[in-house]
Amino acid sequence: MPYFDAASSAPLHPIARQALQASLDEGWADPARLYREGRRARLLLDAAREAAAEAVGCRPDELTFTPSGTHAVHLGIAGALAGRRRTGNRVVVSAVEHSSVLHGAGDSAVTVPVDRSGRVAADDFVAELSADTALACLQSANHEVGTEQPVAEVATACRTAGVPLLVDAAQSLGWGPTPGGWSLLTASAHKWGGPAGVGLLAVRKGVRFAPQGPADERESGRSPGFENLPAIVAAAASLRAVRAEAAQESVRLRALVDRIRTRVPELVPDVEVVGDPVHRLPHLVTFSCLYVDGETLLHELDRAGFSVSSGSSCTSSTLTPSHVLRAMGVLSEGNIRLSLPTGTAPADVEHFLEVLPGVVSSVRERLGAPTPTQTSGEADALVVDALGKLCPIPVIELAKVIGNVRIGGVVRVLSDDAAARLDIPAWCAMRGQEFLGEEPLGEGSGYLVRRVQ
- Catalytic positions: 314
The 8-class DSSP code of residue 275 comes to S
Q: Which is nearer to a second copy, 316 or 404 (CB)?
A: 316
Is the separation of the CB atoms in 205 and 185 below 8 Å? no
Nearer to a second copy, 67 or 180 (CB): 67
**Least distance to a second copy from the beta carbon of 390, Å?**
17
DSSP letter (8 states) at residue 190: G
Residue 313 beta carbon to a second copy: minimum distance, rounded to whole angstroms: 15
Spatial contact of 23 and 43, defined as CB atoms under 8 Å apart: no
Enumerate binding residues for a second copy (CB under 8 A): 1, 3, 5, 8-12, 17, 20-21, 24, 28-30, 33-38, 67-71, 74, 99-100, 103-104, 106, 188, 190, 195-197, 199, 213-218, 224-231, 295, 298-299, 301-302, 306-309, 315, 317
With 0-12 / 13-18 / 19 or more C-beta atoms within 10 angstroms meaning exposed / middle / buried, residue 400 is middle
> Which residue number, 26 or 153, has a Cβ lying nearer to a second copy?
26
Q: Which letter, b or e, does each residue of 236-273 get, where b requires 16 or more Cβ atoms within 10 Å of its Cβ?
A: bbbbebbbeebeebbebbbebbeebbebbeeebebbbb
Q: What's the closest the beta carbon of residue 395 comes to a second copy, in angstroms?
A: 23
Neighbours of 453 (CB within 10 A): 9
d(CA 21, CA 16): 9
**Shortest distance, position 370 Cβ to a second copy, whole Å:** 28
Q: Which is nearer to a second copy, 64 or 433 (CB)?
A: 64
Shortest spacing between CB 305 and a second copy, in angstroms:
9
- Between the alpha carbon of residue 5 and those of residues 12, 103, 292, 298, 424, the distances in Å are 13, 23, 20, 12, 28
Bridge partners, residue 63, by sequence: 202
How many C-beta neighbours within 10 Å does residue 129 have?
20
Nearer Cβ to a second copy (45/56): 45
